Amino acid sequence: TLATKAPFFPKINNERSMIYIDNLSEFIKLLIDHEASGLYFPQNKEYVNTTELVQAIAEAHGKRLLVTRSFNWVVSIGLKQSETFRKVFGSFVYDKEMPGSPGTIINESCFSYVTKPFKETIKNVK
CA dist., res. 33 & res. 103, Å (int) = 16
The length of the chain is 126
Q: Give the pairing type, strands 105-106 and 109-110.
A: antiparallel
Q: How far apart are CA 93 and CA 18, in angstroms?
A: 8
Q: Is the pLDDT of residue 81 over 90?
A: yes
- So what's the pLDDT on residue 126? 57
Q: Among 16-20, 37-41, 88-92, 116-120, where is mean pLDDT lowest?
A: 116-120
Provide the residue ranges of all domains of the chain, joining segments of one domain with +: 2-125
Which residues face 105 on adjacent strands? 110
The pLDDT tens digits for 15-69 are: 999 999 999 999 999 999 999 999 999 999 999 999 999 999 999 889 999 999 9
Buried (b) or exposed (e) across 68-86, using 16+ Cβ within 10 A? Answer: eeeeeeebeebbeeeeebe
pTM: 0.82
3-class DSSP assignment, residue 37:
coil
Buried/exposed 28-44: b ≥16 CB within 10 Å, e otherwise: eebbeeeebeeebebbb
